[in-house]
Structure 1
Amino acid sequence: MACTSNRESESSWIPPGEEYYTRLKRNLPTVHHQFVDAQLKSLAGGMPLYKVKGRGKLLPRKFFLDTEKMVLRYKGSERVLGGGSNVWSISSMSEVREGEKDFTTYLDWMDNIRDHCLAIVFNSGQKVKYLYTASRPERDMWIKGIRFAMHLGQYMDQRAQTDRYPYSYLESFVQVDKNKNGKLEIKEVMNLLKQLNARFDEKQVKQLMREAKKQEKKSDVSLNIDEFISFYHLLNTRPELNELFWRYDKNNKGYWSTRDLQDFSKQEQQVMLSDNKAKEIILEFEPQKDFREEGSKMSPTGFKDFLTSRDEQLFNSNCREVYHDMTRPITEYYINSSHNTYLEKGQLRGPSSTDAYVAALRKGCRCVELDCWDGDGDEPIIYHGHTYTTKIKFCDVISTIKEHAFKFRSQYPVILSIENHCSVKQQEVMAQYLRDILGVMLYAPENPEKKIPSPDDLKGKIVLKGKKLPSKVVTDDDIGEMSEEDEAAEIPPEERREQTTHGKLKLAPSFSDCIGMKALSYKSVSQVLDSDSLFVSLSESRSLSMIPNDINKMTNHLLVRTYPKGTRTNSSNYYPVPVWNYGCQVVALNVQTSDKSLTLNAAKFKDNAGCGYLLKPDFLLSNKEDGIENVLNGRRESGRKRLHIKIISGCQIPKPKDSKKGEVIDPYVKVKVHGVEKDTRTQRTQRIKDNGFNPRWDHDVTFDVSVPELAIVRFVIYDDDPGIDDLIGCFALPFNTIRQGYRHFPLYNKDGDKLNQAMIFVHASITDLS
């Protein structure tokens, strides 16, 4: 049964154009309409700006802000084949800000350079575009204009949930109506369907178009805008949701009562709803005015909006709040961590930037790395020593971290993992910067307590991890020596810029006093267990070659940090699951590299509000003689679970980025549990030929999981090809955050950006096996 919307907005639709956007602007909160009317007109007409490339090269371009197509575009470049796009989608932008430190250092010959610069940050946080304007007022106008466009896009996304004429529908109509006659002919509709990744028989499409026109005659099969919207709704009908709805419509009323909603929630979703909560849901999601006003009836459309809402997704919405006990010693938590944070690309060549720190913090990292070296003019710098990576100022990095450390999703501490290669003189400069810039945010107690602080104790604090002098050292004559930890020594000699040395570095007392977490160089397990340090680092190779029980013993004494081996010069990542299973708390990854490992890291730290700290399972905090061997081998007497997932359908799954024009995908879903070796298994669905728009699988997969506390479930959607299957999108989440019942989950591309409107519909159930 086709379900069309009967929303209040049907009779008050305004076609796309000036009136439509004017109404959106008036409804958009926190916007000064005088600015919108005057400034947007200037920006839409185009203004000359400079793109800042590489080490400060200025490229003259003319930029246009188009709030109808929701893009920022530019002209003036002679693009070569294979180059990037000159159109930047507003929906892909996450932030715009002023005064960037990194590239302005290359333009310091210009006056007031930071007053002229702005940076646009894209969704993944790793991609940033820099622009240079003629004046500060012009810079501010662009920043305000782009921010307005971003708010407008968010507002239109919200309206899409309740407005019969969401922006995406109107945009589709305008783009496909090539002859601009206000109607879509059959050929134009067929082209649209190809763009939407759906293959329909022309006869079937004509029948849907007639249904949309509410006519039987076969002569006119063109669609005006109102008929197109009806056609789009027919196309978006979800039979699998309607089947579920009619199952709980007890008396074939055509709607649900509050009791029907409660029955569905109890039987299928494993959630008990009170009468008041059921009414709240109807009030929030029901589009029909009369049903909504009564607060006791839900239509099929209201049910669809409810079931596709964020709070009903597969990931448990309760886990979006901090619910772990945050008062335990910090050694009892996994900590979201970044390796060589300053690098934007590879380990040997390419840029270092402060924006890389912003990207890591945006992704939830609470431990970032600083490789500190002597710079010119007694100015300490950060870069990957003995390589061709660019250099950035230590003071700029500290300022950036202070600005962004607690800006995103967490108030829990940020740990600065210091690799100190500086002379005593420049260490003293660093100490002064730390105290002047961070002030009270710096955690550097004069008399550290023996009690290990908790994440709660360190809220709002920035903590340095590094070598520290013994407390008895009180004069400059007694400056101690510090072993140099030089990861570049692992890089093949022929790829190094300089040869590494293995001498000693002296440690300045003023810098030592800034260290809040004392670190040591690993020599043996017994040495670690006998120390009073709070941190030890193990390379990827060493951590995977050690006895798991030995590592777990160390993690019960201090924080164990692991990092990629130096031969990963392309910034690839190691598989983090085994070292998490051993109990390692600080598993540092190259967050600039979007790959499976980073997907798993993002999934793991999605839990507990994404605050970057996760309390480890009790069995990893035990000092029992038998250690964790039984757990890692899957020989547990309790806690085992069976996960059953029915992969039902997909919705608006896009083509792979580089697919051929007009090609329609053949999607299938692969599901893998990542955990202890016994639990790590993969299953997949069949492929659905020529349908990414609304594929239907109805495929069951089952996993027996012995250690659910350590398991991560990852879904990957591929396009089945004769050669290598293209990855379209993926989604992953910790086992213990899975919500039972009928659920949707979104898809993310390989860069970690959300694929708009793409969803997978599943049913999940979990049963105890012990």
Structure 2
Amino acid sequence: MLTKTQEQMNELLRELKLGCVLVEQKYDGTKCFRHYYLHKSEQFVTYRQTNRTLPSPIRYYINQIDEIRVGFKTRTFDRLIKHKLLRQDDEQCAFSIFSNNYRDEINLLANDEEIRNIWIEGLQYLIEIHSQIQQNYLTNETNWILNSFYSITKQRSDSLSKDECRQLLIDTFNTKVSDEDFERFFQKIDKNSLVSDEFLELFHSITLRHDLYKIMKKYANNTENQTIDSLYLTAEQLLEFLQKEQNQFVLKTRKNDSKCDFTLESINTNEQVKELIQQFESNDQMKENGHISLKGFRDLLLSDDFTLMKPWCSRFVYQDMTRPLNDYYINTSYNT
């Protein structure tokens, strides 16, 4: 298959967002004809529910899909073929989606091979994009927030009311926000409901780390003219912080993540710090200037290489764990 250009992939995703009728094949031979589509956020696939008395449509989140399998290669399809509930010729239209660590499975038939291939190619493209994105802490967090947002939107609604937003902040994110700050945000946008991007803005505005703001002010220049939103550190200032406060090491690993193939590298040059800024700063202008904002600073400190637990111990099995359990001492205490 020839590699598609980005424009062609965007067109393919637009087709998935319009959706089409696919037939879900159940293990007992039952067929469900549903209009499946990719949500405009590109976070999940779902279907239209015309009967409001039925449960809300199931959402198949892209970041939870384990495999897209082509053809009759599942137990369900095998059984349907064996009992002559499907024709062998239908295989060119068949595909299956496995998700949730292979615990969930859906077997589908498209109208023709071309439509099936559009779904397979589009979903595999999104899975690859999400797997690359998940290497970045920042986007991982965004996915987590958006998944929570979409999990409580009704049917195809793309917004949450003011009360629903507050409840989501309390129940899911355990986030405390004063009535004054909450109302001020809604007055600012002059609306009584929020779409996903607006909810992200609300979430970030009420979860600013004032403790990190104080730390940054110790190393930044001209802080009297900078607010919590405009404060930044240069590469030199960030390097000074990492050397004085963190005594920081960066874990370097190869792409295959071999547990024996890593080296520890101390941070002692501006070039190393600029690489960190490029990785964790989301503001393009800040990146271009070699600066890191409060949010980028927070994301850097919350990343794996900056955790209190030594990453070369927490990421890999570095001791002999092949012995029977009673050969080991368990480090415990009164509380644990």
Q: What's the TM-score, normalizing by structure 1?
A: 0.32
Amino acid at match of 1:129: I
Q: Note the C-alpha offset of 1:135.
A: 4.1
Amino acid at match of 2:203: Y
1:258 is matched with 235
> Does structure 2 retain, via aligned residues, the 8 Å contact 1:61–1:76?
no
Match runs of 1:84-483 below 5 Å: 86-103=58-75, 104-106=77-79, 107-108=81-82, 109=84, 110-112=87-89, 114-151=91-128, 161=138, 172=149, 186-194=162-170, 196-198=172-174, 200=176, 204-210=178-184, 222=192, 230-246=201-217, 248-249=219-220, 252=223, 254-266=231-243, 267-271=245-249, 272-275=266-269, 276-289=271-284, 291-295=286-290, 297-313=291-307
Q: Given the superposition, is the C-alpha separation of residues 310 and 68 from structure 1 closer, same or farther in structure 2, using an over 3 Å criterion?
A: farther
Amino acid at match of 1:44: L
Q: How far apart, in 1, do the equivalents of 2:182 and 2:309 lie?
A: 35
Q: Given the superposition, is the C-alpha separation of residues 241 and 176 from structure 1 closer, same or farther in structure 2, using an over 3 Å criterion?
A: farther
Q: Secondary structure at the match of 1:61?
A: strand
Q: How far apart, in 2, do the equivalents of 1:133 and 1:173 lie?
A: 26
Q: How far apart, in 1, do the equivalents of 2:149 and 2:119 lie?
A: 27
Q: How far apart, in 2, do the equivalents of 1:72 and 1:181 lie?
A: 14
1:679 is matched with 331
Q: How far apart, in 2, do the equivalents of 1:62 and 1:116 lie?
A: 16
CA displacement, residues 223-255 of structure 1 (integer Å, 9 cap, x when unaligned): 777876653322221234334434555885743
Q: Given the superposition, is the C-alpha separation of residues 161 and 136 from structure 1 closer, same or farther in structure 2, using an over 3 Å criterion?
A: same
Q: Given the superposition, is the C-alpha separation of residues 239 and 119 from structure 1 closer, same or farther in structure 2, using an over 3 Å criterion?
A: same
Q: How far apart, in 2, do the equivalents of 1:40 and 1:140 lie?
A: 15
CA displacement, residues 559-578 of structure 1 (integer Å, 9 cap, x when unaligned): xxxxxxxxxxxxxxxxxx7x
Q: Note the C-alpha offset of 1:84.
A: 10
The size of the alignment, in residue pairs, is 300
> Does structure 2 retain, via aligned residues, the 8 Å contact 1:119–1:128?
yes
1:473 is matched with none
Q: Secondary structure at the match of 2:97?
A: strand
1:418 is matched with none
Q: Given the superposition, is the C-alpha separation of residues 61 and 43 from structure 1 closer, same or farther in structure 2, using an over 3 Å criterion?
A: farther
> Does structure 1 retain, via aligned residues, the 8 Å contact 2:300–2:306?
yes
Amino acid at match of 1:305: D
Q: How far apart, in 2, do the equivalents of 1:258 and 1:237 lie?
A: 21
Match runs of 1:501-520 below 5 Å: none
> Does structure 1 retain, via aligned residues, the 8 Å contact 2:49–2:57?
no
Q: Given the superposition, is the C-alpha separation of residues 677 and 317 from structure 1 closer, same or farther in structure 2, using an over 3 Å criterion?
A: closer
Amino acid at match of 2:278: L
Q: Given the superposition, is the C-alpha separation of residues 229 and 177 from structure 1 closer, same or farther in structure 2, using an over 3 Å criterion?
A: farther
Q: Which structure's CA Rg is the greater one?
A: 1
1:66 aligns with 2:38: yes
The counterpart of 1:51, out of the listed 2, 8, 25, is 25
Q: Note the C-alpha offset of 1:170.
A: 11
Q: How far apart, in 1, do the equivalents of 2:174 and 2:164 lie?
A: 14
| 5+ long unaligned stretches in structure 1 | 1-28, 325-332, 335-576, 584-628, 633-675, 685-770
Q: Secondary structure at the match of 2:88?
A: coil
> Does structure 2 retain, via aligned residues, the 8 Å contact 1:94–1:121?
yes
Amino acid at match of 1:89: Y
RMSD of Structure 2 on Structure 1 (CA) = 5.1
Q: How far apart, in 2, do the equivalents of 1:173 and 1:105 lie?
A: 35
Q: Note the C-alpha offset of 1:299.
A: 2.6
> Does structure 1 retain, via aligned residues, the 8 Å contact 2:186–2:192?
no
Q: Note the C-alpha offset of 1:174.
A: 12
> Does structure 2 retain, via aligned residues, the 8 Å contact 1:208–1:234?
no
Runs of 4+ in 1 over 6 A off after TM superposition: 75-78, 155-160, 173-178, 223-227, 319-324
Q: Note the C-alpha offset of 1:683.
A: 3.5
Q: How far apart, in 2, do the equivalents of 1:241 and 1:31 lie?
A: 42
Amino acid at match of 1:93: I
Q: Secondary structure at the match of 2:102?
A: coil
CA displacement, residues 64-109 of structure 1 (integer Å, 9 cap, x when unaligned): 122315332346899x99x996332223213212134342432144
CA displacement, residues 284-337 of structure 1 (integer Å, 9 cap, x when unaligned): 333455543343x4332221122233443466555799998xxxxxxxx97xxx
| 5+ long unaligned stretches in structure 2 | 225-230, 250-265
1:695 is matched with none
Q: How far apart, in 1, do the equivalents of 2:232 and 2:267 lie?
A: 18
Amino acid at match of 2:34: K
Q: How far apart, in 1, do the equivalents of 2:74 and 2:309 lie?
A: 38
> Does structure 1 retain, via aligned residues, the 8 Å contact 2:46–2:60?
yes
CA displacement, residues 96-151 of structure 1 (integer Å, 9 cap, x when unaligned): 12134342432144324643432212142343333244543343232123224435
Percent identity reads: 18
Q: What's the TM-score, normalizing by structure 2?
A: 0.64
Q: How far apart, in 2, do the equivalents of 1:222 and 1:84 lie?
A: 24
2:252 is matched with none
Q: Given the superposition, is the C-alpha separation of residues 207 and 95 from structure 1 closer, same or farther in structure 2, using an over 3 Å criterion?
A: same
> Does structure 2 retain, via aligned residues, the 8 Å contact 1:43–1:145?
no
Amino acid at match of 2:169: L
1:41 aligns with 2:15: yes
Q: How far apart, in 2, do the equivalents of 1:285 and 1:265 lie?
A: 15
- The structure carrying a bigger strand percent of its residues is 1
2:259 is matched with none
Q: Note the C-alpha offset of 1:212.
A: 7.3
Amino acid at match of 2:275: E
Q: How far apart, in 2, do the equivalents of 1:124 and 1:92 lie?
A: 7
Q: Given the superposition, is the C-alpha separation of residues 318 and 39 from structure 1 closer, same or farther in structure 2, using an over 3 Å criterion?
A: same
> Does structure 2 retain, via aligned residues, the 8 Å contact 1:117–1:139?
yes
Q: Secondary structure at the match of 2:179?
A: helix
Amino acid at match of 1:131: L
